[in-house]
A and B are shown apart, each in its own frame.
Chain A
Amino acid sequence: MALSTIVSQKKQIKRKAPRGFLKRVFKRQKPQLRLEKSGDLLVHLNCLLFVHRLAEESRTNACESKCRVINKEHVLAAAKVS
């Protein structure tokens, strides 16, 4: 079961920022606010760094529990901490 639910790793990833998505999310959350032009790029940067930290933390958790696969609990633990 564990094998079937494992997601394969992609070696190549897109580096583009989903600017439209970010702007939409911000607009939905705070329709009274406006986001500046390059603001969403910085938001994307922030997301990247957040995801990066989260992934590192989850990886650390998984390695500490000696699992070869990152589990839900590892991610949750990482999220609760950060």
Chain B
Amino acid sequence: MADHNPDGDPTPRTLLRRVLDTADPRTPRRPRSARAGAQRALLETASSRRLSGQTKTIAKGRSRGARSIGRSAHVQARGHLEEQTPRTLLKNILLTAPESSILMPESVVKPVPAPQVVQPSRRESSRGSLELQLPELEPSTTLAPGLLAPGRRKQRLRLSMFQQGVDQGLPLSQEPQGNADASSLTSSLNLTFATPLQPQSVQRPGLARRPPARRAVDVGAFLRDLRDTSLAPPNIVLEDTQPFSQPTVGSPNVYHSLPCTPHTGAEDAEQAAGRRTQSSGPGLQNNSPGKPAQFLAGEAEEVDAFALGFLSTSSGVSGEDEVEPLHNGVEEAEKKMKEEGVSVSEMEATGAQGPSRAEEPEGHTQVTEAEGSQGTAEAEGPGASSGDEDASSRAASPELASSTPESLQARRHHQFPEPAPPPGAAVCPPRSRTTGPRPRQDPHKAGLSHYVKLFSFFAKMPMERKALEMVEKCLDKYFQHLCDDLEVFAAHAGRKTVKPEDLELLMRRQGLVTDQVSLHVLVERHLPLEYRQLLIPCAYSGNSVFPAQ
């Protein structure tokens, strides 16, 4: 056969292509013989390592059989459908060709798409030194030989460039991407038979890692948001805790307040620093009611004398630092004290005045006011505090407890919405009083009502409403005692987490759990299945026990 191929080495691919080029589609006989001859030549050319690889890897009989089938398929295809000849050839050979590792890329390449797509990929893969059976297929894929010959050279060039680009693409990914992308893109785009698969990895700069663009964090905004979001719920939470408000949120503040000035100074400085980041006064006022709310809750429960001491020192300290936040805190505290003893109107007035003042000079007057009011309120403070001081003492007198916490709730709640609204609405009447108590009570009452319903169910007799209220109070007391006991038990075990062992001990002390009746028995008796599964360790398949012991 004539050597049209400009390159020297007679690869099977080139041989086959030559065959195809020269072959006349209309004469089945000649192609067959030509093809047979070509394939024989293919077999004979052991110079190509690919071919040798193929012959080695492929079982002889199978390959020969496949090739013979392919040959016949070629013939048939040729005989029937001229236009699809290359494709059918490809397909047939692909179908009949044995699966082997070197054929992996072959499976990726589909015969159905344009043969041009297939061909360059094969070429690339061949260039990538993947041993394929494909070289013999390549010649069959050509549509127009004329197109091929010049394109091949270009493609070869581009392929080398592409490979270089691939190699460079990874190290270049850290550098500015433009050059690498441009070079690879242009090189890949210039491929007339560009494969969609491989260049994409280089085309996509997104796959390469870029240093993330970091914006400088606005600390002020962040702290502001923190405060706004964190303080908004506690307003409701604190309101909920009023009836048996224990040192919930206040206790940390109390721990702050109990030690002397250094701690308060630290806290003040901290507050001041936090508040300094805020730019505007209104922002301050939005946040300050939150903080003082904490003070208020704490002071409500703990000894007010301490709180007074704290406030006086804080007010003294605040005179030097930023006055505003502490003024607001002081105002709130003084308001709270006033409400415990004195008339509500006074509190309202101060409450009204408080938010309206955003400037320091006014704050100074407030300091003096605060101190003056503190002096007057001190007498009432201890009196009120002694009544509120002990949770247990309050628990002992449920009626008193219910009445005073409710009144406190009402007033405190009334007071909370006041500073929150903008200063314009400072002189607001107790219109919020009606809406205030409801959201605070409901979640707690809703939970309690569950047990109240259970009570009425267990009693099996009609009950009065007052009796149900009494049951609620009993439940409140019960929960308090329960928490105290659990705390004692956990502390006895040197733990800060209450574990089921503590609960078991509690029930044993109550006489519910005995040597005859174990906790598991009670669990099985009274709890539904889902909870039983969670509580009692049980063996499941796979030698697993849930819950794990």
Chain A residues packing against B (C-beta within 8 Å): 2, 5-10, 13-18, 20-22, 24-26, 28-36, 38-39, 41-52, 54-56, 58-59, 62, 68-72, 74-76, 79
With contacts A9-B457, A45-B523 known, what are 20 further pairs, Cβ within 8 A? Answer: A2-B464, A9-B460, A16-B528, A21-B446, A25-B447, A28-B248, A29-B479, A29-B483, A31-B249, A34-B498, A39-B502, A43-B503, A49-B526, A52-B458, A54-B471, A54-B474, A56-B459, A68-B461, A70-B462, A79-B470
Selected A-B contacts with CB under 8 Å, 6 pairs: A10-B456, A21-B447, A24-B447, A48-B454, A69-B462, A76-B470
Q: Which residues of chain B have C-beta atoms less than 8 A from A20's C-beta?
A: 447
Contact of A75 among B443, B471, B483 (CB under 8 A): B471
CB <8 Å contact, B450 and A14? yes
Known: A7-B465, A41-B534. A34 touches B500 (CB 8 A): no
Q: Which residues of chain A have C-beta atoms less than 8 A from B483's C-beta?
A: 25-26, 29-30, 33
Instruction: Please name the residue on chain B nearest to A80 by beta carbon.
Output: B474
CB <8 Å contact, B497 and A35? yes
CB <8 Å contact, A55 and B527? no
Q: Does chain A have a CB within 8 A of B490?
A: yes
Q: Which residues of chain B have C-beta atoms less than 8 A from A8's C-beta?
A: 462
CB <8 Å contact, B450 and A7? no
CB <8 Å contact, B456 and A47? no
CB <8 Å contact, B447 and A13? no
CB <8 Å contact, A33 and B471? no
With A and B bound together, what is the CA distance between A7 and B456 in angstroms? 9
With A and B bound together, what is the CA distance between A79 and B465 in angstroms? 17
Give the distance to chain B from A15, nearest Cβ to Cβ, in Å: 5
Q: Which residues of chain B have C-beta atoms less than 8 A from A18's C-beta?
A: 447, 450
Contact with A along B458-480 (1 / 0, CB 8 A): 11111111111111001101111
Instruction: Please name the residue on chain B nearest to A14 by beta carbon.
Output: B450
Q: Which residues of chain A have C-beta atoms less than 8 A from B21's C-beta?
A: none
CB <8 Å contact, A72 and B464? yes
With A and B bound together, what is the CA distance between A74 and B471 in angstroms? 11
Instruction: Count contacts on B: residues with CB < 8 A to the other chain.
Output: 68
Q: Which residues of chain A have C-beta atoms less than 8 A from B462's C-beta?
A: 6-9, 68-70
Q: Which residues of chain B have C-beta atoms less than 8 A from A14's C-beta?
A: 450, 453
With A and B bound together, what is the CA distance between A2 and B523 in angstroms? 38
Chain B contact residues, majority secondary structure: helix
Q: Which residues of chain A have C-beta atoms less than 8 A from B490's C-beta?
A: 33
CB <8 Å contact, A36 and B526? no
CB <8 Å contact, B246 and A69? no
Contact with A along B229-265 (1 / 0, CB 8 A): 0000000010011001010110100000000000000
Instruction: Please name the residue on chain A nearest to B465 by beta carbon.
Output: A5
Known: A28-B241, A41-B531, A41-B534. A5 touches B464 (CB 8 A): yes
CB <8 Å contact, A72 and B455? no
CB <8 Å contact, B471 and A42? no
Instruction: Please name the residue on chain B nearest to A56 by beta carbon.
Output: B458
Q: Does chain A have a CB within 8 A of B209?
A: no
Contact with A along B124-135 (1 / 0, CB 8 A): 000000000000
- Which of B467, B512, B534: most chain A Cβ within 10 A? B467
- Which of A42, A59, A74: most chain B Cβ within 10 A? A42
A-B pairs, 5 with minimum CB distance = A21-B447, A55-B458, A29-B483, A42-B503, A55-B459
Contact of B496 among A6, A7, A34, A52 (CB under 8 A): A34
